[in-house]
Structure 1
Amino acid sequence: MNQSDSDTIFNGGVSSYGGIEIETPSTSAGNGPMSASSLNNADSSANVSGGPTKVVSHSPLIVGSTMNRDLRRPSGLSTLSGVFAPVALSMFSVLLFLRMGFVVGQLGFLMTVVELLLAYFIILLTVLSLCAISSNGAIEGGGVYYMISRSLGPEFGGSIGLLFFIANVFSCALYVSGFTEAFMSNFASGDLSNGSWKFFYCVCVSVVLLVLVLLGSGLFAKTALITFVVIGICFGSFIATVLFRSPMNITVPVSNTYRYEVWVNESDPSAGKEVDLNQTITANYTGFSFATVKENLFTNYTFDYTTGKKTDFALMFAIIFSGVTGLMAGANMSGELARPSVSIPRGTLNAVFTTLGVYILAAFLVAASCSNDLLQNDYGVMMDVNFSPLFILVGIFATTFFSSMSNLIGASRVLNRLAHDKLFGAVLSPAAYEVSSGNPVASVIISWVCVVLVLLIGAMNKIAKITSIFFLLSYMGVNIATLALELTSAPNFRPTFKYFSWYTCALGIVSTVTMMLVIDAAMSAIAIVILMVLIMFLHYQAPPGSWGSISQALIYHQVRKYLLLLDSRKEHVKYWRPQVLLLVSRPASCCPLIDFANDLKKSGLYVIGHVHREGTFNNSDAVTSDPLQKVYPFWLSLVDYLKVKSFVELTISPSVRHGVQQLIRLSGLGAMKPNTVVVGFHETQRSETTLNETKLLKDLKYSKIGRNDVVEYFTNADYIPNVGSANELHGNPTERLDSEEYVSILKDALHLNKNLCVARHFTFFDKDMVLKNLNKRYIDVWPVDLLKPDQTGLGWDNSCLFLLQLACILSMSSRWKSATLRVFICVNSLQDMHRRERQLKEMLGHLRIKGKSIVVPWDHVVCHFTDGNASVKDSADLPRPYISAMNEMVRRHCADTAICFMNLPLPPEDIANSEQYLELLRSLTGDLPPTLLVHGLSSVISTAL
Structure 2
Amino acid sequence: MFSVLLFMRMGFVVGQLGFLMTVVQLAMAYAIVMLTVLSLCAISSNGAVEGGGVYYMISRSLGPEFGGAIGVLFFVANVFSCALYISGFTEALLNNLGNGQFPDSPTWRFFYCVLVSVALLILSLLGAGIFAKTALFTFILISICYSTWIFSVIFDGPMQIPIPKVNTPAYRVHENASNPDSPMIVMLNQTLTANYTGFSFHTLGENMFTNYTMDYTTERQTDFALMFAIIFSGVTGLMAGANMSGELARPSVSIPRGTVQAVLTTLFVYIMTAFLMAATSSRYLLQNDYTVMMDTNFQRWFILIGIFSTTLFSSMSNLIGSSRVLNRLSHDKLFGCLLRPAKIEIGDRNPVVSVIITWLCVVGVFLIGAMNKIAKLTSIFFLLSYMGVNIACLALELTSAPNFRPTFKYFAWWTCALGVVCTTTMMLVVDASMSAIGVVVLMSLIMVLHYQAPAVSSGSISQALIYHQVRKYLLLLDVRKEHVKYWRPQILLLVSRPSSSCPLMDFVNDLKKSGLYVIGHVRKGDLDSNQAVDPLQQVFPYWLSLVDYLKLKAFVELTLSNSIRQGIQQLMRLSGLGAMKPNTVVLGFHEATPVDATLQESQLLKDLRYSKIDRAAVVEYFTAGDYMPKELNGNLERLTPVDYVNVLKDVLHMTKSLCVARHFHKMDKEALSRGWNQKRYIDVWPVDLQRPVETGLGWDNSRDCHKIVHLFSSSSLFLLQLACILSMSSRWRSHSRLRVFICVNSLQDMHRRDRQLKQMLDWLRIKAESIVVPWDHVVCHFPQNGAAANLQR
Superposed CA offset, 1:524-562 (max 9, x none):
343344444444543444322221010000111111111
Aligned partner of 1:748 in structure 2 is: 650
The one-letter amino acid paired with 2:588 is: G
- Aligned counterpart, 2:473: 562
Verify the 8 A CA contact 2:497 2:628 in the aligned structure 1: no
The counterpart of 2:597, out of the listed 689, 698, 702, is: 689
Deviation at residue 848 of structure 1 after TM alignment: 1.5
1:431–1:443 Cα contact (<8 Å) kept: yes
Which is helix-richer, 1 or 2? 2
Deviation at 1:279, TM superposition (A): 4.1
How far the C-alpha of 1:121 sits from its partner, in A, is: 0.8
1:256 to 167, 178, 182: 167
Q: Does 1:640 align with 2:570?
A: no
Answer whether contact 2:693 2:782 (CA < 8 A) is retained.
no
Find out whether 1:522 has 2:437 as its counterpart: no
For residue 281 of structure 1, report the CA deviation from its aligned partner. Answer: 2.8
TM-score (norm 1): 0.78
My pick for the range that moved more, 592-601 or 191-200, is 191-200
Contact 2:509 2:517 in 1 (8 A): yes
Q: Give the residue type in structure 1 aligned to 2:650.
A: D
Measured in 1, the distance between the counterparts of 2:684 and 2:404 equals 55
Displacement of 1:462 in angstroms is 5.8
1:140 aligns with 2:50: yes
Q: Which residue of 2 aligns with 1:765?
A: 667
Residue 780 of structure 2: SS of its match in structure 1? helix
Shift of the 488–874 alpha-carbon distance from structure 1 to 2, 3 Å rule, reads farther
Aligned residue identity for 1:736 = R
* Deviation sequence 1:381-434 (CA, Å, 0-9, x none): 111111011111111111111111011101221122122212223333332233
Cα separation, partners in 2 of 1:266 and 1:172, compared to 1, 3 Å: closer
- Per the alignment, residue 788 of structure 2 pairs with 873
Aligned partners of 1:720, 1:744: CA distance in 2, in Å? 22
**Sequence identity of aligned pairs in percent?**
71
2:270 to 359, 365, 382: 359
2:691–2:787: 8 Å Cα contact kept in structure 1? Answer: no
Report Cα offsets for 1:321-347 as digits up to 9, x if no partner: 122122321111111111111111111
Query: Secondary structure of 1:130's partner?
Result: helix
Is 1:807 paired with 2:723?
Answer: yes
Map 1:599-678 → 2, pairs under 5 A: 599-614=510-525, 617-618=528-529, 624-678=532-586
**Counterpart code for 1:145:** Y
1:180 to 64, 67, 90: 90
Q: Which amino acid aligns with 2:123?
A: L
Counterpart in 2 of 1:789? 692
Q: Which moved more, 1:103-112 or 1:666-675?
A: 103-112
Aligned position for 2:714: 798
SS in 1 for 2:788: coil
Q: Is the 8 A contact 1:143 1:414 kept in 2?
A: yes
Moved more, 446-455 or 217-226: 446-455
Distance 1:826 1:584, change over 3 A: same
Residue among 165, 178, 181 paired with 2:75: 165
> For 1:117-165, what per-residue CA distance to the aligned partner results, in whole angstroms no more than 9, with x for missing partners?
0111111121111111111111110011112222332233223323433
Structure 2 counterpart of 1:213: 124
Pair 1:789–1:736, CA change in 2 (3 A):
closer
Residue 365 of structure 2 corresponds to residue 448 of structure 1: no
Task: Indicate conservation of the 8 Å contact 2:49/2:57, yes or no.
Answer: yes
C-alpha deviations, 1:600-633, integer Å up to 9, x for none?
Answer: 11111000000001257257xxx84211111111
CA distance in 2, matches of 1:113, 1:783: 80
Q: Which runs of 5+ in 2 are unaligned?
A: 700-707
- 1:824 paired with 2:741, answer yes
Query: What letter matches 1:789 in structure 2?
Result: P
CA separation in 2, counterparts of 1:198 and 1:389? 23
State the AA in 1 paired with 2:25: E
Matched letter for residue 639 of structure 1 = V
Q: 1:857 aligns with which of 774, 780, 783?
A: 774
Pair 1:875–1:433, CA change in 2 (3 A): farther
Deviates more, 1:857-866 or 1:761-770: 857-866
Q: How many residues align?
A: 777
Q: Distance in 1 between matches of 2:760 and 2:683?
A: 17
Rounded to whole Å, the distance in 1 between the matches of 2:635 and 2:406 is 50
Single out whichever of 460-469 and 682-691 deviates more from structure 2: 460-469
**1:770–1:776 Cα contact (<8 Å) kept:** no
Once residues 62 and 163 of structure 2 are traced to their aligned partners in structure 1, the CA distance between those partners, rounded to angstroms, is 53
Q: Provide the secondary structure at the position in 2 that maps to 1:331.
A: helix
Deviation at 1:715, TM superposition (A): 1.2
Change (3 A) 1:759 1:233: same
SS of equivalent to 1:611: strand
Instruction: Work out whether residues 230 and 375 of structure 2, in 8 Å CA contact, stay in contact via their aligned partners in 1.
Output: no
Pair 1:216–1:476, CA change in 2 (3 A)? same
Tell me if the contact between 2:37 and 2:260 (Cα under 8 Å) persists in the aligned partners: yes
SS of the counterpart of 2:782?
A: helix
Shift of 1:366: 0.5
Are residues 1:416 and 2:327 paired? yes
Decide which moves more: 709-718 or 693-702. Answer: 709-718
Equivalent AA in structure 1 for residue 540 of structure 2: Y
Q: 2 CA distance for matches of 1:269 and 1:184?
A: 33
Please identify, of 855-864 and 526-535, the stretch whose mean Cα deviation from structure 2 is larger. Answer: 526-535
Provide Cα deviations, 1:87-140, integer angstroms capped at 9, x if missing partner: x2xxx3221112111221222211211111011111112111111111111111
Larger RCO (CA within 8 A; separation ≥ 6): 1
Q: For residue 105 of structure 1, what is the aligned residue in structure 2?
A: 15
Q: Deviations over 1:245-297 (max 9, x none)?
A: 11111122233344334456666544476544444432211112223222222
Change (3 A) 1:559 1:348: same
Asked if 2 retains the 8 angstrom alpha-carbon contact of 1:771 and 1:777, the reply is: no
Q: What is the Cα deviation at residue 240 of structure 1?
A: 0.4
Query: Partner of 2:523: helix, strand, or coil?
Result: strand
Aligned partners of 1:148 and 1:477 also within 8 Å: no
Out of 142, 147, 168, the position equivalent to 1:231 is 142
Q: Deviations over 1:666-718 (max 9, x none)?
A: 00000000000000111111122142121111221111111111111111265
Q: 1:518, CA displacement in angstroms?
A: 3.0
Contact 1:263/1:273, CA 8 A, preserved across alignment: yes
Contact 1:586/1:718 (8 A) holds in 2: no
1:387-402 matches, within 5 Å, as: 387-402=298-313
How far the C-alpha of 1:787 sits from its partner, in A, is: 3.5
Q: Cα 1:283–1:460, aligned 2, differ >3 Å: closer, same or farther? A: closer
- In 2, are the aligned partners of 1:823 and 1:854 still within 8 Å (CA)? yes
Query: Contact 2:503/2:668 (CA < 8 Å) preserved in 1?
Result: yes
| Whole-angstrom distance in 1 between the partners of 2:300 and 2:370 | 29
* Contact 2:232-2:379 at 8 Å conserved across structures: no
Counterpart residue identity of residue 807, structure 1: A
Contact 2:294-2:300 within 8 A present in 1 as well? yes
Whether the 8 Å contact between 1:147 and 1:478 is mirrored in structure 2 is no
TM-superposed deviation, 1:571: 0.7
Aligned position for 2:380? 469
Unpaired runs of at least 5, structure 1: 1-87, 724-729, 879-945
Q: Is the 8 A contact 2:739 2:771 kept in 1?
A: yes
CA distance in 2, matches of 1:806, 1:655: 31
Question: Residue 155 of structure 2 corresponds to which residue in structure 1?
Answer: 244
Within the alignment, does 1:848 sit opposite 2:765 as a pair? yes
Is the Cα contact below 8 Å between 2:387 and 2:420 reproduced in 1? yes
- Contact persistence 2:229–2:379 (CA under 8 A): no
Q: Distance in 2 between matches of 1:542 and 1:285?
A: 59
Q: Aligned partners of 1:125, 1:731: CA distance in 2, in Å?
A: 72
SS of the equivalent of 2:521 reads: strand
Q: Return the letter of the residue paired with 2:639.
A: L
CA distance in 2, matches of 1:459, 1:366: 24
Contact 1:677 1:749 in 2 (8 A): yes
Deviation at 1:876, TM superposition (A): 6.6
